[in-house]
Structure 1
Amino acid sequence: MAQQVRGVVARAKGEPVRTETIVVPDPGPGEAVVRVQACGVCHTDLHYREGGINDDFPFLLGHEAAGVVESVGDGVTEVAPGDFVVLNWRAVCGECRACRRGRPWYCFATHNAAQPMTLTDGTPLTTALGIGAFAEKTLVAAGQCTKVDPSASPTAAGLLGCGVMAGLGAALNTGEVGRGDSVAVIGCGGVGSAAVAGARLAGASKIIAIDLDDRKLASARTFGATHLINSGTTDPVEAVRDLTGGCGADVVIDAVGRPETYRQAFYARDLAGTVVLVGVPTPGMELELPLPDVFGRGGALKSSWYGDCLPSRDFPMLIGLYLQGRLDLDAFVTETIPLDGVEDAFARMHKGDVLRSVVVL
């Protein structure tokens, strides 16, 4: 029987979000209903509200979440009612050319729930990244549920659903940071700070944090940065070279995603070094680089999709590190807020006042 619950809805571009009653249908084949316990407030949710993703309003926002499976549809074997899960927006298909080649983290046919959630008048809701977790309950594809250790805090575990996983994976998976490597991270918000933490986990010997905001730089130090550069007062490329014997860093991670920061990343890396783009560019951005420099500097220029993660592999492993005290996910949580506090949290996030606001239900 369909259920009515509260959820945060963006009805039109730029309008403040509202907490409204939404209808969650019973799960169909391959689907699951999850009782949401916590959901982080991510920049992507704000992009949806601002029309920066598409114009398929109204949106049910929220996607960085953890909760408990309440019910499942026919054919679901991955999870069962009562399982504690982290939600992910890349439920792999197992059948596309990437999956068949043993690279499911690149899956080209990820999927979501087939049924829509709706407003009480029957209007279908477009769910943020196929999840819609600023809600007391949400309907997702069962493959979007990754079972993890239930002793983990939902406020911390849910952050693996997007930004923190993107940053950790940019260092661990895409950048393949190794023991003794030098790493520079440009942009030290939630994703960049997670990249710093990932580089520390990988055993990097030198981790250089770069940002315009001294508050974010101070936060990056708590996650493992060994050196801090304020790019508003110092040329970051020259500073990285000075800190690496004039060579540049082995891996440079751009967690901003702008042409100017990408150029900084490109020229701040060592010969044969790696650039990882994990910050998401906005439509219309273009990049120009001298082709002889691209050839002559060698190495690799990589884009990191969701930290190139495989949720079934990475989420349980990272939760294990969290429970062992080796990965401080709690440190990413600046504040916890109620469901009706999302609009105010957007304002604080836009000002750079928080690393992560987390809705607790």
Structure 2
Amino acid sequence: MAQQVRGVVAPGKNEPVRVETVIVPDPGPGEAVVRVQACGVCHTDLHYKQGGINDDFPFLLGHEAAGVVESVGPDVTEVTPGDFVILNWRAVCGSCRACRRGRPWYCFDTHNATRKMTLEDGTELSAALGIGAFAEKTLVAAGQCTKVDPSVAPAVAGLLGCGVMAGIGAAVNTGAVGRGDTVAVIGCGGVGDAAIVGSRLAGAARIIAVDIDDRKLETARSMGATHTVNSSTTDPVEAVRELTGGFGADVVIEAVGRPETYRQAFYARDLAGTVVLVGVPTPDMKLELPLLDVFGRGGALKSSWYGDCLPSRDFPMLIDLHQQGRIDLGAFVTETIGLGDVEKAFARMHEGDVLRSVVVL
């Protein structure tokens, strides 16, 4: 039987979000209904509200979430009611060419629930990243649910559903940061700070945080950065080179998603070094680089999709590391809020003093 819940809906481009009654249908084959316990406010949700992803309004926002499986549809074997799960937005198919090659983190046919959540008048909602978790309950594909240790706080666990996993994975999975490496991270929001945490976890010897906000740089130090560069007053390329013996960093992680910061990343790396783009650009952005420089500097230019993570592998591992005290996922939670506070949380993103506002239900 369909259920009525409260959820945060973006009705139109740049319109204020509002809490609406959302109809959640029973799960169909391969689907699950999850009672959401916490969901982080991610910049991607703001992109949806601004029309920067697509124009399939109205959107049911929220995707960095953890909760408890309430019910499952036919043919579901991954989870059972009562399981504590983190939601992910790349449920792998297991049969595409990437999955068959043993690279499921590149799955080219990820999927979401096929049934639609709606408003009371029957208007279909587009769930952000196929999740829509600024709601008391949500409908997802069962493969979007990853079981983890239920003793971890939901507000902490949910952050692995997007930004924290993207940053840690950009360092550990995509960038393959190794022991003794030098790493520069450009952009020290939640994703950039997670990349710093991942670099430290991987054994990097020197981690250089680059941002235009001194408050963010101070937070980056608390996350494990060994050096900081304020790029509003200092040339970041020259600063990174100076801090790396004149060579540049082995791995540079760009967590902003802008052409100018990507160019900085490109030239701040050592010869044969690696650039990882994990910041998400908008469709109108263009990049120009001298092709001779691309050839002559060698190395690798990579894009990191969701930290190239495999949720079934990476989520439980990172929760275990958090429980052991080896990483502090709780440090990313700046404040906890209610469903009615999401619009204010979007405004706080621009103030530079919040890593994550987390909606707790």
Would you call these one fold, judging by a TM-score over 0.5? yes
Q: Shift of the alpha carbon at 1:190?
A: 0.3
User: Which position in structure 1 is the counterpart of 2:84?
Assistant: 84
Q: Which amino acid aligns with 2:174?
A: T
Matched positions, count: 361
Q: Shift of the alpha carbon at 1:352?
A: 1.8
Q: Which amino acid aligns with 1:285?
A: M
User: Which position in structure 1 is the counterpart of 2:184?
Assistant: 184
* Alignment pair present for 1:215 and 2:215: yes
1:294 alignment partner, SS class? helix
Q: Which amino acid aligns with 2:52?
A: G
1:112-151 superposed matches below 5 A: 112-151=112-151
Q: Which amino acid aligns with 2:145?
A: C
Aligned identity (percent) is: 83
Residue ranges of structure 2 left out of the alignment (5+ in a row): none
Partners of 2:23 and 2:112 in 1: CA distance: 17
User: Which position in structure 2 is the counterpart of 1:74?
Assistant: 74
Q: Shift of the alpha carbon at 1:284?
A: 1.4
* Alignment pair present for 1:4 and 2:4: yes
2:350 alignment partner, SS class? helix
Partners of 2:312 and 2:300 in 1: CA distance: 27
User: Which position in structure 1 is the counterpart of 2:313?
Assistant: 313
Partners of 2:278 and 2:351 in 1: CA distance: 21
Q: Shift of the alpha carbon at 1:260?
A: 0.7
2:157 alignment partner, SS class? helix
Partners of 1:73 and 1:318 in 2: CA distance: 29
User: Which position in structure 1 is the counterpart of 2:26?
Assistant: 26
Residue ranges of structure 1 left out of the alignment (5+ in a row): none
Q: Which amino acid aligns with 1:21?
A: T
* Alignment pair present for 1:333 and 2:312: no
Q: Could you give the per-residue CA deviations for residues 190-237 of structure 1, whole angstroms, max 9, x where no partner exists? A: 000000000000000000000000010000001100000000010000
Partners of 2:321 and 2:329 in 1: CA distance: 10
User: Which position in structure 2 is the counterpart of 1:276?
Assistant: 276
Q: Could you give the per-residue CA deviations for residues 286-345 of structure 1, whole angstroms, max 9, x where no partner exists? A: 111111111111100000000000000000000000000111110000000011100000
Q: Shift of the alpha carbon at 1:121?
A: 0.8
Partners of 1:292 and 1:55 in 2: CA distance: 38
1:250-289 superposed matches below 5 A: 250-289=250-289
Q: Shift of the alpha carbon at 1:262?
A: 0.6
TM-score w.r.t. the length of structure 2 is 0.99
Q: Shift of the alpha carbon at 1:188?
A: 0.2
Q: Shift of the alpha carbon at 1:350?
A: 2.3
TM-score w.r.t. the length of structure 1 is 0.99
User: Which position in structure 1 is the counterpart of 2:54?
Assistant: 54
- Asked whether the 8 Å contact 2:216–2:353 carries over to 1, the reply is no
User: Which position in structure 2 is the counterpart of 1:247?
Assistant: 247
1:351 alignment partner, SS class? coil
